Amino acid sequence: MATVAPQLQSSPVYLRIMIYQHITGLIGNTPLVQLHRVVADVPAPVWAKVEWFNPGHSIKDRIALKMIEEAEKKGWLRPGGTIIEGTSGNTGMGLALVAIQKGYRCIFTTTDKQSKEKVDILKALGAEVIVCPTNVDADDPRSYYSVARRLSEQIPNSWYVNQYDNLDNRQAHYETTGPEIWEQTEGRITHLVAGAGTGGTITGIAMFLKEKNPAIKVWAVDTYGSTLKAYHETGQIDPNEIYPYLTEGIGEDIIPANYDFSLIDHFEKVTDRDAALMAREITRREGIFVGYSSGSAVQAIRQLKHQLRPDHRVVVIFPDHGSRYIGKIYNDEWMRDRGWLRAASAADLTGARPLISVDRHAPVAEIIRLLTNHGIDQVPVMDGQTPVGSISESAILNHLLADALVRNQPVETIMDPPFPVVSDDAGIETVSSLLQQHQAVLVRDAAGNLHIVTKTDLMKALAC
């Protein structure tokens, strides 16, 4: 915590400048921010606990600090030791931050579904990262749980954090996040809404809040492909409920020891699609750049809004920052590839792939190789930067059937008229009507570069 030289303590500057010994001193005490537009149809005020104000940009900084401090007290972690954990990324970042301060080595196992950003950040914080397959059972020797456990048995002076069953996880939230919410809402909170992964967040906060006011409703947010909701309702793990999903940080295929299901009143499931679209909406309309599971949490509130009244006070947890999902939910092509984003203009149809074209003088044989190698049906024929014609697989075949020697001729001798060219702000209707008459359409972007849009691209976009 801050140390201030005695001579400064009398100066007025003292109160303004607090010097933290280390960045980890800033873990916790995150703000509550009122939401407006994304909950306009929700009868009760909704306050978001924005956990990316933590130095590691996620709620997991809290548990990282607590679990390490407790492990040191219990002698599980000794000087020069190695911290080993299976993590979706956020816990790894929190652990790596504290490890830098205390001089520990970090080895993290994660799954190949996690974003590249998360893995790169762990490496940037000096951790060694082992990426394991997502689609294997938890007890499979290749799973990120098993690899972490095995490493901790092999590496001397190492400590396996196991945030799933380590009760210091939920204890961190009982001691910090819960009290902060109670204080910030002056005890007026009536509903807590939080994503459920290890269960530390929802159980730890609920333990504290229900001690203060047992009437507070606790709503856990789950995802399709996770067994948590079924377990809460039946006490059984339902294997039919377990299948791969995209939402990161929440949902589970195991039942971590951190859960106290008796404190949780309801589990609400949200789809990967709705969570992604809602996260984008929170970012665009509230200006809070949130992660994937924050979208799940607000979508859950909207799905349950009929259970809320104007006198209720809802606190929702925003666990991490949107920057970790730049390559996914904040990437329009990633969203469109999943059919989650409707194309509005020609620009939305082009994607990032470079234009493949041929020169008018190129021999037909070369075009055949190009179409085959790229698995495409047609290309524009260019004279420099100008499209002067087009050629398709079926046209070449017809010419070859008529005269096999055509293969040695320049393509300009057999090419068809050029594809129509539109600017990238042309409406999707314009493109679709042109694709009624033509194999493809060329789209010129603001920088003057050409892109191609085929019937397949339009079909994919319209399937949204």
Ligand X SMILES: Cc1ncc(COP(=O)(O)O)c(C=O)c1O
Q: Which of 49, 60, 66, 210 is catalytic?
A: 60
Which residue, 38 or 415, is less far from ligand X as judged by CB?
Answer: 38
Closest of 89, 288, 51 to residue 279, by C-alpha? 288
Site stretch for ligand X (CB under 6 A), options 20-28, 124-132, 242-250, 346-354 = 242-250
With CB under 6 A as the rule, give the number of residues binding ligand X: 17
Whether 217 is a known active-site residue: answer no
- What sections of 200-306 are H helices per DSSP? 200-212, 228-234, 272-286, 292-303
Does position 171 interact with ligand X (CB under 6 A)? The reply is: no
Closest residue to ligand X, judged by C-beta, is: 249
- The residues near 74 (Cβ < 8 Å, ≥ 6 apart) are none
CB of 254 to ligand X, least distance (A): 12
Does position 320 interact with ligand X (CB under 6 A)? The reply is: yes
CA Rg value for the chain: 28
Site stretch for ligand X (CB under 6 A), options 117-125, 195-203, 356-364, 386-394 = 195-203
Among positions 110, 111, 115, 201, the unique one binding ligand X when judged by CB under 6 A? 201
Among positions 161, 172, 196, 349, the unique one binding ligand X when judged by CB under 6 A? 196
C-alpha to C-alpha distance for 297 and 301, rounded to whole angstroms: 7
Does position 195 interact with ligand X (CB under 6 A)? The reply is: yes
For residue 191 the two structure tokens come to 């509903």
DSSP structure string for 36-80: -GGGTT-SS-EEEEEGGGSTTSBTHHHHHHHHHHHHHHTTSS-TT
Site stretch for ligand X (CB under 6 A), options 15-23, 103-111, 198-206, 364-372 = 198-206
Residue 274 and residue 150 in contact, taking contact as beta carbons nearer than 8 Å: no
Does position 250 interact with ligand X (CB under 6 A)? The reply is: yes
CA atoms within 13 A on the CB side of 423: 4
Does position 197 interact with ligand X (CB under 6 A)? The reply is: yes
Q: For the beta carbon of residue 22, count every other beta carbon within 10 angstroms.
A: 14
Among positions 24, 54, 88, 299, the unique one binding ligand X when judged by CB under 6 A? 88
The strand pairing partners of 315, in sequence order, are: 47, 192
Q: For the beta carbon of residue 368, count every other beta carbon within 10 angstroms.
A: 16
Residue 181 and residue 209 in contact, taking contact as beta carbons nearer than 8 Å: yes
Q: For the beta carbon of residue 257, count every other beta carbon within 10 angstroms.
A: 16
Site stretch for ligand X (CB under 6 A), options 106-114, 193-201, 300-308, 363-371 = 193-201
CB of 215 to ligand X, least distance (A): 23
Does position 83 interact with ligand X (CB under 6 A)? The reply is: no
DSSP for residue 257: T
Which residue, 199 or 387, is less far from ligand X as judged by CB?
Answer: 199
Which residue, 200 or 380, is less far from ligand X as judged by CB?
Answer: 200
Does position 178 interact with ligand X (CB under 6 A)? The reply is: no
Site for ligand X in 290-309 (CB under 6 A): 291, 293
Among positions 24, 82, 90, 299, the unique one binding ligand X when judged by CB under 6 A? 90
Site for ligand X in 138-167 (CB under 6 A): none
Residue 111 and residue 132 in contact, taking contact as beta carbons nearer than 8 Å: yes
DSSP for residue 193: E
> Which phi and psi (to 5°) does residue 379 adopt?
-140, 155
Which residue, 197 or 389, is less far from ligand X as judged by CB?
Answer: 197
For residue 159 the two structure tokens come to 């400590």
CB of 234 to ligand X, least distance (A): 20
Q: Would you tell me which residues interact with ligand X (CB under 6 A)?
A: 88, 90, 195-202, 248-250, 291, 293, 319-320
Active site residues: 60
